[in-house]
Every structure is written in structure tokens, then in C-alpha cells.
Chains A and B, each alone.
Chain A
């Protein structure tokens, strides 16, 4: 056996402990350990560490109900199509269901109602503005994001939607339901405008929810303590497509 084959590296010792060593090197390593006491004691030490870690953290339990995937999936936007369909079905059902929903919202407006009301109001007021739709223009994007993030005390994500034909015009600060809200406006080539409204909330993360208005409609969701409302065209398919694009970019941090 040549010296080269005999020489055992530290990496090989780790690989030996972790069962990652190629079979043809195991004998060489074991021979090495028999004659190198220091390395043998290191290997023993690493094995003891492994045992201790497994003893302390190794138990596995059956997951509690909060990890039920069916329930989680309902919160996941993959199923927002189904959720949206359910909303439409509720509208169509009308009657008692409608009355119940109305009764509930009259008693205590939900976060969904509060957020979409405010966002749609802002949308109506500002999208018709020709000269002053925003306070800070999209040309100063970095400044806009920094300013609004500072006021909301939340690192805002303002998505780039140019590839779906929407240019960022800019944004402004608004009074929100629980402190300041941020409001960004986008414009398409034919002048159609979409806005994204951001405000802090204590509501739990939610799937995308659609709300139809008379001239405009809104899509709402909550993620990590921030409520989002995309408002725009009453054309539902168009608004859902824009919201989905915004959602995905915000979620993945593609800005």
C-alpha cells in the first residue's frame, strides 16, 4: 500500500462517521484509526456528539391539528380559484346566506370589509386624478419605497409589473385603519389604472379574496402582518390576473 493511500484526511474522518465514505476507503480509514490515537478519539467524540443530539432532539411526535394539510391548503392561494368560486356561489345563493353574511358584517365589520372599503375609496378618489395622482413618482422608486416603508414601519414590497403592461406611476401615504397606509398606482398603455393598498393588520395570513364593487373591484389578502388590497377594473379575470402577478412577486420578493 502506498503512502498516498494510507494518508487519511479530516474530511474522510467526518465522512466515515457519517457513513458517507466510499466503501473502498473504509478499511484504510479503520487501519489509520487503529494507529492514530488522536484521530480515533476525535471520531469517538463526534459520535458522542451525534448520540447526544439525537437523544435531546430525536423524538418525533404526531403532528397536531394545525398542520392539517387540507386546512392549510384552503389558506393557500393555489385554491383561491375555488375560494373565489365559493364567494360567487354565496352571492348567487343569496337569500338566507346573504342575509346572514350581511347581518354579520353589520354587527362588526371584518378586516376584509374595512380594508377593501378604504382601498376602494382611495382608488376612486385618486385614479381619476390627471395631474396629481401620486405624491412621489415611480421615477423615484427607491425613495418612494423607503419613505412608505419607514412610515408603516414595515419593509414594503412594491412589485414591478411592467411585463404585464403596467407601469408604476408612483405612490402616496394615506390614513389607514390602524395607522398609516401606503398606496401605489400602476397604469397600462390604454390608461387603465390599478392600485395596491398596504396597511398593517393583526389578522392572520389569508388567501386572496375578491370583492366586487359597482365600477371597481378589489382583491384582498394578508401576509405576515400586512394587509394588501389590489383595486382596479371590474373585469374580474383581468383584476385576478393582476392581483396574482402582484401577489407572486411580493411573495417571492421579485420587485
Chain B
């Protein structure tokens, strides 16, 4: 094999392992996106955009942690989406699968979904990355582009807001049934 062919083959292998590493993350990315958006359709669109973006940046990726990088892309895409949505918020609420009255196999844990929905975006994303995706505080800091102290206080606020929501809204919701 001449050197040029060897290089080409090495490149091909690099692409293959890069794609395999991404592929392994797809189920977890969908899980995170669903919890983040509370809308399966929207979540899958976000994941697809994330994958497209990642594939486009294949040549820019120089090793490092692929998982955190994918969560970073997804988190940023979702932030952009919310920003453009801020002008017409009513639509999103209508599509919210956790809206009152929605029943399903997971109806029993619906309260936690509503509590999550009541959080501001940064707190929700922080809590989900930690407890659902199992990222370390350091990784979450990287994903969100903030110091670790900010991650800690977002997490603390997320937890105390969820508790306040469940303490306050719980009985009222039960009465609706």
C-alpha cells in the first residue's frame, strides 16, 4: 500500500469510530431531549439536528469526550429554539404532553413531569444532566459553559423549586381527578 492509500484508510477508520461513538449516544440523547422538551416529536427533531451538526463538525472534532460534546450541541440548539419561541410561547404549551389531563402509562409520575416543566430552562437542564444522564458536575459545567459553582447553585435551586412545586401543587392536582 502506498502512503497516500494508507492515510486514506486511516481517515476512513477515524470516521467509522467517530460515527460509532455518536451512534452509541443516540438513545441517551433522545431520553435527555424528551425530558428537556416534554414533547417526543420536538425531542426527536432536536436530536436529529444535533446529529447533523455533529456530523458536519466531524472534521473539527479532535478527540475529547464525544458524549459531553453532543449534550453541548443539543443544549445550545434547544436554547436557540426557546429564544426564537419566546415571541410566541402559547403554541409550545399546547403541545406539552404533560399538560393537565394527559393520561398514559406514566400517569403516576406525572407530577414530577409538571414540576420539571415549571423550572426555568437552565435549572431543568442542569438537574436532568446530573440525575438522568449521570454527567459529573464538571461535565455539566462544560456543557453549559459556566463555572462549577453555577452548576451547583442551579442544581440546588432546581431541587428546592421542585419540592416547593410538589408541596404546593400536589393536593390541588389530586382534587382535579
Which A residues fall within an 8 A CB radius of B?
Answer: 10-11, 14-15, 18, 20, 45-46, 49-50, 52-64, 66-67, 69, 72-73, 75-78, 205, 251
A248, chain B: closest CB distance, angstroms:
9
A88, chain B: closest CB distance, angstroms:
20
State whether B113 touches A67 (Cβ < 8 A). Answer: no
B157, chain A: closest CB distance, angstroms:
11
State whether A58 touches B31 (Cβ < 8 A). Answer: yes
**A78 to B53 CA separation, bound complex (whole angstroms):** 10
B 33-53 binary contact with A (CB < 8 Å = 1; else 0): 011000000001001100110
**A2 to B128 CA separation, bound complex (whole angstroms):** 36
In the complex where A61-B27, A62-B27 touch, is A55 in contact with B109 (Cβ < 8 A)? Answer: yes
State whether B44 touches A57 (Cβ < 8 A). Answer: no
Interface majority SS (helix, strand, loop, mixed), chain B:
helix
State whether B130 touches A18 (Cβ < 8 A). Answer: yes
State whether A53 touches B48 (Cβ < 8 A). Answer: no
**A77 to B28 CA separation, bound complex (whole angstroms):** 25
Which B residues fall within an 8 A CB radius of A?
Answer: 19, 22-23, 26-28, 30-31, 34-35, 44, 47-48, 51-52, 55-56, 58-59, 106, 109-113, 116, 127-128, 130-132, 136-137, 152, 155-156, 159, 162-163
State whether A205 touches B52 (Cβ < 8 A). Answer: yes
The listed residue (B44, B47, B55) touching A73 by CB distance below 8 A is B55
State whether B56 touches A78 (Cβ < 8 A). Answer: yes
Closest to A155 in B: B84
In the complex where A52-B109, A58-B132, A77-B56 touch, is A18 in contact with B137 (Cβ < 8 A)? Answer: yes
